[in-house]
Chains A and B, each alone.
Chain A
């Protein structure tokens, strides 16, 4: 039984969702205002948060911002369409995916499952992935840049893991959307791109140049650079 927190001011909708998602194996806790929602989200009792952006009191984006300062818990945001800016902003702040209202509950279920599958996945290949100064430990779900731990959300972690495993090969946006978000790429779907740009910002540039390269028209590529290679470059520069 996975616990999911829904923060939405529509009481009736929350009740219906609890009724609908209950039999699917989710324990739903519903909270109807932002401040209380944030408090509950920080309790670490939930596997995933469904957050409506239109909330009385503390708005959804503010809840997300404060939540992300302390917790990497997966967040799915609900938006009323026509708020494209809010959606992009939500993803930039650290939401994992979004769903426009009104949504088909089966779609919501699929998204929740996809995100949970990525984030609770126990890596079968336990060995750490290393690329230059960057080290990703799938078992511990930790990322280290030199000796500093990097704070990544669950989706960013999954994204980096996919890129690292395919290091040096191009991954298309379709492939990334499918492997990281567990769904098909939609038209004008920029979710992966926002996550990649968040990841770049958090990791900073590598000693030898950019880490994640955009390949126009195809997708993204983690630039393979051996440690020796980057050392040599440093030596050259010195």
Chain B
């Protein structure tokens, strides 16, 4: 079946037909006995036409009785037959199906009941005015309640089965329609979360309808996005790489010039800028590498406390004139699984960024603490400055490469807006999260959460 339209159409149609068949079956396999409460009324109704038929039969013999019964059949569509006491047919047509009932009816047991296709059948023993005995059998409408069955238990059973069957069919249908949609949704959520290699077709069975097409279109789209993003990242990587060759030559040429013409402040200036360019390209390459790296980093146990205190020591020394110092609070030694070099550069970027923006004379506070969330333990690194902060609407963007807050934070920094981008990516490839928030009365607080391995995998503290 190629089309979803046809599929839904056929499914609904099949459901309706199945319901109809089920209804039919309830009549066919419906009760064969008439509930005893109804016997008296049915018997009265049957006796009324039975007596007329017997009178006709006694008066005008068989043909008159037949005429009467045919008239009844024409008017009510109910068949009726008149037999003699031995079961021989006197009047009526098509009476074979009554035969089985007549044998049970005698003067001693004057009535018999049965139910067929929802119609009650009554056989009565009647005595004519001549004293002759007859058996009158007729169909009578039993009403839907009788047809479906009056016993509560069988009613519940039958409707229970009907509900179950129809419910099951509808469940299958709904599942058939919604499963691929739900999976597609999961795949697109994964894609949106950044896993560009997600494909939906791998989890959805091969289908040849509109849903299958949708899934394949989704995959095509996902491949295209992945290709575009990876090409863009590759471009950053390639461009940075290519920039290095002329830069390397520039370095040598500059040095040659210095050798020939002697020292000149202009050469120092050039060298400083070449160094800056080189540094920026290195950072760009780091960002590109962290963005494109598909394989896991080589992880080892890293003493985070040691790294942070080293950075804080260096930073405090370098910024001793301008700032109120860098304060570190680390209650214990924390080990995390990671790449020491990357973690070092990430944390250094955070601390340097804070030093750059904190007001002269105010400190930068660095805090390391452990934290448990959802049964997982984390190390929380907080870096807080007392600077102008960042407009609330731009807090999310400060981790983008080359992102600059328009007014407050100026361009005097050497890092060219890559420091926080690197920090964010490093924390992310370590399975952590990072976020920034403004704190009252002023200042910015950046918080990084890094997964903290359980106790037994931690390395013992340095013994040497």
Contacts and interface: CB of A to CB of B under 8 A. Distances in A.
Contact of A188 (B250, B255, B344, B464): B344
Interface stretch (B97-105, B198-206, B239-247, B397-405): B239-247
B303 to A, nearest CB: 10
A105 B282 CA distance: 18
B142 to A, nearest CB: 88
A104 B251 contact: yes
A25 interface: no
Contacts of A217: 462-464
Interface string A63-103: 00000000000000000111010000000000000000111
Contact of A81 (B245, B255, B285, B463): B285
Given A10-B245, A13-B245, A82-B285, A103 B464 contact: no
Given A23-B259, A81-B285, A10 B248 contact: yes
Contact of B289 (A13, A20, A82): A82
B211 interface: no
A39 B251 CA distance: 29
Contacts of A84: 341
A84 B341 CA distance: 11
Given A19-B256, A23-B259, A104-B255, A13 B344 contact: no
B334 to A, nearest CB: 18
Contacts of A106: 255
Contacts of B288: 82
B464 A218 contact: yes
Contacts of B353: none
A102 B344 contact: no
B221 to A, nearest CB: 31
State which size class the interface on B falls in: 20 to 34
Contact of A80 (B244, B259, B271): B244
Interface string B156-179: 000000000000000000000000
Contacts of A103: 248, 251
A217 B256 CA distance: 42
A81 B341 CA distance: 13
A187 B344 contact: yes
A13 B248 contact: yes
B286 interface: yes
Contacts of A218: 464
Contact of A102 (B244, B286, B341): B244
Interface in B385-403: none
A23 B256 CA distance: 10
Interface in B209-267: 237, 241, 244-245, 247-253, 255-256, 259
Contact of A20 (B252, B271, B463): B252
B220 to A, nearest CB: 32
Interface of A: 10, 12-13, 16-17, 19-20, 23, 80-82, 84, 101-106, 187-188, 215-218
Interface of B: 237, 241, 244-245, 247-253, 255-256, 259, 271, 274, 278, 282, 285-286, 288-289, 340-341, 344, 462-464
24 contacts: A10-B245, A10-B248, A10-B249, A13-B248, A16-B253, A17-B252, A20-B252, A20-B256, A23-B259, A80-B241, A82-B241, A82-B288, A84-B341, A101-B244, A101-B245, A102-B247, A102-B251, A104-B255, A104-B271, A105-B252, A105-B255, A106-B255, A188-B340, A215-B464
Closest 8 CB pairs of A and B: A217-B464, A102-B248, A16-B252, A216-B464, A82-B285, A102-B247, A105-B255, A188-B341
